[in-house]
Structures are given as structure tokens and as C-alpha cells.
């Protein structure tokens, strides 16, 4: 990269990080809030800033109570534990983060049996879920939890009506619904509705503060008071009881109060990036699939060219991950501006000609 800066006559080059929205840096407002955060011992339930974050999160998500946890993964595993899925089936998408990317915690820690469904386009299909319920028979395992994800890891948003149908079915079978809402505020922003319009169709929801919402650490798990009390004990069991957690909760409050309101800017930048990419030779983007801040692009170049792309871009100050099953993934977020996108497009155009 130093060589590239010298060649282009640049002194400093901003690193543009398109790998994920997990890379976002805390904002100045977060650093300011952190420096004046009132703290206590949250395990003893007297950290006022964490209590304020949890109250705010519960209110915004339309639930009775909420718990501050270390990560989205911790929120989901604590949810599985508190829903007591041991020896029961957990019905969830075959491509879902909870099944694929959380190290098997549903089974290893919570004792649940993953019943994965291959939904077309990854959007939950209520008929498939209905068919997954087993007959009441002594030989058969019972369903203990249905997990949905919104927004999906493929960048699509699950419509409110689909969530409503799944929730109605689950209710009729007496099975709770948990939503992995790592990006549920993105989903709501994309649909142009309040997040409560989505979270009304689940019993419990987890949501990340450290992705597009820019907190350095943390996630929320929300549900009714009894569930959250159980979840608090399971969080402690996992070693997730935190002491002066107000230091990081202070950033979480800024995430919820301020950063949730600007997500559409990331979505617009993603559409801008996607349509420019789609107009380039050798690149295809399914524009309909660009609903939040995620862009997946197919690049029609040799395997060697594609394998070298992340390193070539890194030399030019741009970070991306290597090709995934869904293609190359680019995420927009608070630290990526329109000018950054234009710079990325310029560099990519040069590399495509090679
Ligand atoms: C859909 C989804 N759920 C859960 C998580 C887990 O979040 P964390 O990385 O905070 O554990 C992620 C992280 O990327 C995610 O994309």
C-alpha cells in the first residue's frame, strides 16, 4: 500500500473497509458518552447506564424487558438456553447464522436438535415450517423453538406478513419464536416501518449494537420479564455477567437513539454501489436482492484473478473478503462514504482490465 501511495503521489490513504458492518468504529458521540458514563456493578444490578440501555432497548423493541449481552452469538445461545430447547427440535433456516455460524451452540450448549429447512431464497416458508412439526407420537421428538432471521444473511428482508404467518402458526402449536435480529433495525428501515412492527411477531429477539449501529461491543436480547430473568442467569453461566458495563452500554444507547436513524443512508449507498457494479463488464448483481447494506456480486473472471482480488485491493487501501458461496460481498456502513465507493469502483475498474 505504501508503494501504491507513492506511485499515486498520495501522503495518506484512508482504508476503506467493505468486509462487514462489524468493522465500524465508535462515533465521537459514543466516545463522549463513554467518558461520562455512570457505572456500578451490573451483576449486582446497580449499573445505571446498563439499566438505562436495557430499558430503552425493551421499549424500542416492544418487549417487557431486555438484557445487554456481549455479542449477537451470545444473545442467540442465551435465548436457546432460556427457551429450554434441550431434547427438542429447533426449526430454523439451513443458511441461518444460528445454524451455520455459531459453532453448534444450539446443540452443544443448549441441547437442542437443529431441524434445518432449505427455504427458497432463504425466506421462511410457513408451509415448510408447518410440515416440519412431527405428529404427537412417543417415538418422535417435539419442536421446542422456531428461529427466524431478519434481515437475512443474503441481504434480503423477511416481509412482515411472513413473520406474522409464522408467529400465528407457532402460537397455534404452542411453540415460541425467536428472531435473530442482528440487523433487525436495517430490516425495519428497509421496509419503512417501526421495528416494533416486526418484533411484535416473535416472543424474543436478539439485535446487534456493534454492526451498522457502530457500538464497539454488544447486543441485546429482549422478551418478557420472566424470560429475561432466566436469560440473565444463563448469561452468568456462560461467563457473560459484566461489572462496570456502563462503559460500553453508554455507546449502546447512542447506537439505539442515534445510529438507528441513519441506516437508510447505508442502504442507499449499497444501491448506488450495486447499480454501478452491475453496469460493469464481467460483474453481475441481483439488484432486487439489495435491500439493506449488503451487496453480493458475481465476477466473471478466472479463479486465479478472483483469488488475488482481496490482496490486490488491499495494496490500494481497500479491504474485502474473498469470494463466498453467494459471490463477493461488499457492505456499506457509517465509515464508508459515497466518495469511498467511487474510489473503490475506480480501483476495481483498473483491476478488471488486468
Ligand atoms: C445474522 C447474524 N446473526 C448473528 C450474528 C452474530 O453476531 P456476533 O458477531 O455479534 O456474535 C451475525 C454476525 O455477523 C449475523 O450476521
182 lines ligand 1 (CB under 6 A): yes
Note the pLDDT tens digit of each residue in 255-307: 999 999 999 999 999 999 999 999 999 999 999 999 999 999 999 999 999 99
Mean pLDDT (whole number) for 141-158: 98
The CATH architecture to which 2-23+262-352 belongs is Alpha-Beta Complex (3.90)
Ligand 1 centroid to Cα of residue 143, in Å, is 24
Torsion angles phi and psi, residue 307, rounded to 5: -65, -30
**Which residue, chain included where needed, has cell 427466524?**
148
Residue 220: strand pairing partners: 68, 207
pTM recorded for the entire structure: 0.96
Ligand 1 centroid to Cα of residue 20, in Å, is 11
Ligand 1 centroid to Cα of residue 72, in Å, is 5
156 lines ligand 1 (CB under 6 A): no
Q: Which of 182, 187, 207, 248 to mutate to test the pocket of ligand 1 (most atoms within 8 A of CB)?
A: 182
As given in the structure block, the three cell numbers for residue 58 are: 425493551
Predicted confidence (pLDDT) at residue 26 exceeds the cutoff of 90: yes
The CATH architecture to which 28-257 belongs is 3-Layer(aba) Sandwich (3.40)
Q: Where are the domains of the chain?
A: 2-23+262-352, 28-257
71 lines ligand 1 (CB under 6 A): yes
Predicted confidence (pLDDT) at residue 10 exceeds the cutoff of 90: no
Q: If pLDDT is split at 50, 70 and 90, which confidence band does 193 have?
A: very high
Parallel/antiparallel/unpaired status of strands 204-208 and 219-223: antiparallel
Q: If pLDDT is split at 50, 70 and 90, which confidence band does 136 have?
A: very high
d(CA 183, CA 233): 25
Distance linking the first and last C-alpha atoms of the chain: 18
150 preceded by a cis bond (ω within 30 of 0):
no
Mean pLDDT (whole number) for 206-213: 98
Q: Which of 21, 97, 238 to mutate to test the pocket of ligand 1 (most atoms within 8 A of CB)?
A: 97
Cα dihedral sign for 303, 306, 310, 315? positive
As given in the structure block, the three cell numbers for residue 305 are: 484473478
Predicted confidence (pLDDT) at residue 11 exceeds the cutoff of 90: no
d(CA 285, CA 295): 8
**Residue nearest to ligand 1 atom 7, measured at CA:** 72
**Which residue, chain included where needed, has cell 416440519?**
132
Note the pLDDT tens digit of each residue in 60-115: 999 999 999 999 999 999 999 999 999 999 999 999 999 999 999 999 999 999 99
Q: Which of 80, 153, 208 to mutate to test the pocket of ligand 1 (most atoms within 8 A of CB)?
A: 208
Neighbours of 179 (CB within 10 A): 29
pLDDT value of residue 8: 63
Among 293, 296, 297, 288, CA closest to 266: 293
Ligand 1 centroid to Cα of residue 73, in Å, is 6
Helix (H, G, I), strand (E, B) or coil at 334: coil
Among 105, 111, 100, 216, CA closest to 149: 100
pLDDT value of residue 191: 98
Q: Give the full edge-to-edge strand order of the sheet including 219-223.
A: 65-69, 219-223, 204-208, 177-180, 143-149, 89-93, 113-117
pLDDT value of residue 4: 60
DSSP type of residue 135: P
Mean pLDDT (whole number) for 2-28: 83
DSSP type of residue 204: E
Amino acid at each position: 500500500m505504501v508503494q501504491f501511495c507513492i506511485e499515486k503521489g498520495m501522503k495518506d490513504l484512508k482504508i476503506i473497509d467493505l468486509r462487514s458492518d462489524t468493522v465500524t468504529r465508535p462515533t465521537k458521540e459514543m466516545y463522549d458518552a463513554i467518558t461520562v458514563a455512570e457505572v456500578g456493578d451490573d451483576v449486582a444490578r446497580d449499573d445505571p447506564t446498563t439499566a438505562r440501555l436495557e430499558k430503552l432497548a425493551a421499549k424500542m423493541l416492544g418487549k417487557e424487558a431486555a438484557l445487554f449481552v456481549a455479542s449477537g452469538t451470545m444473545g442467540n445461545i442465551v435465548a436457546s438456553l432460556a427457551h429450554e430447547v434441550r431434547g427438542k427440535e429447533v426449526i430454523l433456516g439451513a443458511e441461518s447464522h444460528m445454524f451455520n455460524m455459531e459453532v453448534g451452540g444450539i446443540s452443544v450448549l443448549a441441547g437442542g436438535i437443529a431441524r434445518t429447512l432449505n427455504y427458497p431464497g432463504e425466506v421462511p416458508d410457513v408451509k415448510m415450517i408447518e410440515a416440519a412439526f412431527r405428529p404427537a407420537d412417543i417415538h418422535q421428538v417435539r419442536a421446542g423453538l422456531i428461529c427466524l432471521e431478519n434481515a437475512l444473511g443474503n441481504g434480503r428482508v423477511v416481509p412482515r406478513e411472513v413473520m406474522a404467518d409464522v408467529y400465528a402458526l407457532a402460537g397455534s402449536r404452542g411453540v415460541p419464536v425467536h428472531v435473530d435480529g442482528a440487523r433487525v433495525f436495517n430490516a425495519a428501515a428497509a421496509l419503512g416501518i417501526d421495528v416494533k412492527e416486526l418484533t411484535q411477531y416473535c416472543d424474543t429477539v436478539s439485535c446487534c449494537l456493534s454492526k451498522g449501529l457502530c457500538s464497539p461491543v454488544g447486543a441485546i436480547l429482549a422478551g418478557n420479564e420472566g424470560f429475561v430473568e432466566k436469560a440473565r442467569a444463563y448469561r452468568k453461566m456462560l461467563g457473560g455477567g459484566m461489572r462496570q458495563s456502563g462503559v460500553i452500554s453508554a455507546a449502546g444507547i447512542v447506537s439505539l437513539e442515534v445510529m438507528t436513524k441513519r441506516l437508510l443512508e447505508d442502504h442507499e449507498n449499497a444501491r448506488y454501489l450495486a447499480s454501478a457494479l452491475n453496469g460493469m463488464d464481467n460483474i453481475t448483481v441481483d439488484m432486487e436482492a439489495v435491500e439493506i447494506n449488503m451487496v453480493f456480486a458475481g465476477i466473471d473472471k478466472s479463479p486465479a484473478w478472483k483469488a488475488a482480488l482481496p490482496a490486490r485491493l488491499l495494496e490500494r487501501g481497500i479491504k474485502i473478503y474473498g469470494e463466498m458461496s453467494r459471490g463477493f460481498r461488499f457492505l456499506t456502513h457509517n465509515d464508508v462514504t459515497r466518495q469511498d465507493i467511487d474510489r473503490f469502483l475506480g480501483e476495481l475498474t483498473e483491476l478488471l482490465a488486468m
